[in-house]
Structure 1
């Protein structure tokens, strides 16, 4: 006979699958079957209410079950780009709605992990949690005098896993893999998303998130990336009081990033925080390639700095490094190109960048998409959230219908590495909008894209210069080698005597020098044209200097 735990595990698994199976059946009936038999208008009539009911039911299920269902709901709430507001608005409250675990259970797990009673591990522990999340909860504490003296810290936060969360995560992942398998058989989904791969990416992230040793290492790596950046702060890890299930960190609690009232009371303008937060997230995604994948408001504080001589009166303090993402170097280059194209309102460039990063399959006919993107930029490009709210909803609906037809006709897909990137960018946009309702993401994207473009130009100039120097070096050495060859022939070291050979060698030497001049002329001209966009004086000097090797080349050609 199965134990109660095993029975509960099976019941949880079946509950998730029953919910998913019913919702997929409803979606199939209204979104696929009815339109096929000519009842598309009937299906569309109640779509908004169906979405709201689905979100309400999932919300209730996630709160009741906890575990990874909360994480799934949080991810759905952040997908403002693809999910309707009926779903995202209903699920956004899942960030702060998880009931806490009784302290007695937290104490038992912490003592078992640390190997000593809490009274010996810490001078004091607050039994009321400062935060309760789906996988663990955090309590304020004070280090014992010996550890405080050794670490230089006294106030800490002790994060403890929810008891039994390992088994719950295993069950939830098994259910999600099953649902992913179902979705992979739906052609509309399978053509765009590799659902099994997406679930595995989510699984890997979730398993890392319940390993607090891994989270501690993440925090230190993130801190190292921003060690010289006065905009960012990261809590120190107290490794002496950290295990796989217990994590002790410096207490850095400050003003919640979206608490506008508290920010103003501290003399901080929320509208000034938004662009700094966006820039820090851009640095993580497009420069460092290592980013905080869960930057919701509960994981970011604004920390005032008193008497700061540098003139920067506050910092962004990040916490909770369980969910981190890495952008492979190849993908990072594609994302940089995509950002530059978006900032330049370049529809064709954006589509090409989508092909580069794998969002579109190479076989896609992108002409219609390029036209749609050009129309999108021409009408809505550069608008902030406040401006977009003033656009006539009928115009939005008309464009969405046209754009949707184009998108559905193309082989879009979601690459594996995109899950956390999309989540991070969605949450970034949401936090910035909460800080400043008039926030315009373009105001942050454009200068950052310009910086990336300057870096790309700098790399190009460096490559051109390096190649020119290499060719110049070869060309500089080549006449000397030709002279050595002639000398050896004249001295009799090489028994060859041919006036025709000597004439050919002379022509080779003149041709080589003309080649040097042509290469240097081209390199200086191209470098000057690139640099002139940013520095008119230096760029003009380079372009003028290119005349010298050009004249040499022409003069050499006449002598030849």
Structure 2
């Protein structure tokens, strides 16, 4: 492990020394052109070298590469592009070691815990691997399940993760002392952010709890299913889940053979993902095709039209059906809940504004929403960003995937370079939750475009944004209504309070020395009544204007009713009574 630690530090030190020489030393001696001319090659060389290091070491290094590929706010595109395809390219652990690790965790032999256990893994990743199995007769009778998938952590992975995090924290400390870096990003905070996500991902109890929470969010929703957790055969390092293997969401031929329209799948998948992001606030952050199945269900008549891929009792809504025109009933079954994201209430409000701005192609509104989310620092000069977003919407807004394919690639490249320079010049750093949102949205767009090359994500966004806009109007109208009620109550109570004040003065409870107090109080009362009337007019008129698009009758009534307090505010008190002065 010490050799692993040193290898990671040597790689980082070599890259930092090279960057220091080219980006700091050469410009100071008048050789800036050399630094600029070699920058792209150096970045690509670093990314390729890190790719090789990650594949060779495995462990968290692959996760680091995947994490770096999403940090568009910190790293140049030469690095993120090279690393975005980095996958868990690691060999499977020999079965005898997996057996030993699983038996140590479960406290019993595998042939006692399961009636059958496949020695060939279904999938092998950097942190663990999965095998198919069948529950014992006793467990099957108690759970109602038979076929399961067992995830087993790689032996020694906890120690590897600890070493990798120690090395990364050391590198983060180095970066925090470099002015070029610390003025743009808090490197130690980034490392801790990554550490939290990674430690949660290797805790299978945490993943199981995520699965059950996700299932509760979609309870009663026939579109979504979640594999059941077999808690009796699950620990922090071994996770046993119902086997829900079905048609992969990117198995286009399989979908068509089952009578399922891929275009319908694309639309429903986008809707389900938007529900997670904007309604539930808890979302699957890794919805790549390997983690989403399309599961057929028996039709209402019980004829079992589903056949292939039907899973009995898989998650919430198992007896319900989501019908697709001219096709058997089907639903989405999500797996692998190790990487989940949460959208706090404040971030969700900002995301709602963001979605509305995107749907309306409002560049300035989008920048305001980004600021509201807390991504941009208050000191950020957003003029260039607003112009870039406006240009983006003007040129590409509303285009579907098929239309975008017809655009000259050079135009894309030029815009990407210009936009990337603008983004990296701004003082901001994306929080982890926001990064996961971007990751989930990007994967969703890719899956939907694969299902239907002509799929237009804008078409899915706009109805959702329209509903959000209606909700926002309703919230505004409700607030206006409360304010009107409050003002009306004040208007009713204020004359009585003034009368009480006058009475107390007349009864001698309050000593005054001016004989004109009565006239002053009367003037004050008239003035307050007119102010209240003016405020009441404004409240009624604004409330009616807000409500009128949704409820024309009630909105018109409010606006018409606002005329009375307006007349009172304008003309009350204009006549002078006897003794006025």
SS in 2 for 1:158: strand
Aligned match for 1:329, one of 345, 353, 362: 345
Q: Structure 1 residue aligned with 2:144, among 140, 143, 152? A: 152
- Paired residues for 1:33-52 under 5 Å: none
Name the structure 1 match of 2:3: 11
Match of 1:319 in 2: 335
SS in 1 for 2:298: coil
State the 1:521 CA deviation: 2.7
Q: Does 1:470 align with 2:462?
A: no
Q: Which residue of 1 aligns with 2:187?
A: 195
Which has the larger share of helix?
1
Partner of 2:545: 529
Bigger drift between 194-203 and 432-441 goes to 432-441
Counterpart-to-counterpart distance in 1, 2:554 and 2:31: 67
The reply to whether residue 227 of structure 1 matches residue 219 of structure 2 is yes
SS at match of 1:388: helix
Q: After the TM superposition, which residues 167-246 of structure 1 pair with which residues of structure 2 at under 5 Å, given as runs?
A: 167-246=159-238
Q: Does the 8 Å CA contact 1:213/1:242 hold for their aligned counterparts?
A: yes
Structure 1 192/304 Cα, relative in aligned 2: closer, same or farther at 3 Å? farther
Distance 1:220 1:416 in 2: 23
Instruction: Structure 1: state its 5+ residue gaps.
Output: 1-8
**Residues 2-401 of structure 1: pairs in structure 2 closer than 5 A:** 9-25=1-17, 53-76=45-68, 91=83, 94-95=86-87, 97-307=89-299, 310-312=322-324, 313-401=329-417
Mapped partners of 1:38, 1:451: distance in 2: 57
Residue in 1 that maps onto 2:428: 412
| Alpha-carbon offset, residue 168 of structure 1 | 0.8
The answer for the alignment partner of 1:430 in structure 2 is 446
Alpha-carbon offset, residue 199 of structure 1: 1.3
Give the C-alpha shift of residue 143 in structure 1: 2.0
Instruction: State the TM-score, normalized to the length of structure 1.
Output: 0.86
Which whole-Å CA distance do the structure 2 matches of 1:393 and 1:145 have between them? 59
| CA distance, structure 2, for counterparts of residue 287 and residue 386 of structure 1 | 30
Report the more deviating stretch, 384-393 or 451-460: 384-393
Asked whether the 8 Å contact 2:223–2:322 carries over to 1, the reply is: no
How far apart, in 2, do the equivalents of 1:241 and 1:196 lie? 37
Describe the SS at the equivalent of 2:212: helix
3-state SS in 2 of match to 1:230: coil
My pick for the range that moved more, 379-388 or 252-261, is 379-388
2 CA distance for matches of 1:266 and 1:82? 45
Query: Is the Cα–Cα contact under 8 Å of residues 79 and 423 in structure 1 kept in the other structure?
Result: no
8 Å CA contact retained: 2:123, 2:131: yes
Q: Residues 56-81 of structure 1: CA distance to partner in whole angstroms, max 9, x if unpaired?
A: 44333323222112222334556789
Using the TM superposition, give the Cα deviation of residue 205 of structure 1 relative to its aligned residue in structure 2, in angstroms. Answer: 0.9
CA distance in 2, matches of 1:394, 1:35: 30
Once the two structures are overlaid, the 10-residue window that deviates more, 512-521 or 329-338, is 512-521
* RMSD of aligned alpha carbons: 3.4
Partner of 2:472: 456
Could you tell me whether the CA contact under 8 Å between 2:97 and 2:155 is conserved in 1?
Answer: yes
- Extract unaligned runs of 5+ from structure 2: 301-320, 577-581
CA distance in 1, matches of 2:527, 2:487: 14
Q: Is the partner of 1:258 in helix, strand or coil? A: coil
* Cα distance in 2 for residues equivalent to 1:274 and 1:55: 33
* Contact persistence 1:294–1:323 (CA under 8 A): yes
CA offsets, 1:29-70, max 9 Å, x none? 667777777777776777766666555443333232221122
User: Matches of 2:82 and 2:385 in 1, distance apart?
Assistant: 32
Q: Find the aligned partners of 2:136 and 2:181 in 1 and give their Cα distance.
A: 55
Shift of 1:532: 2.9
1:81–1:426 contact (8 Å) kept in structure 2: no
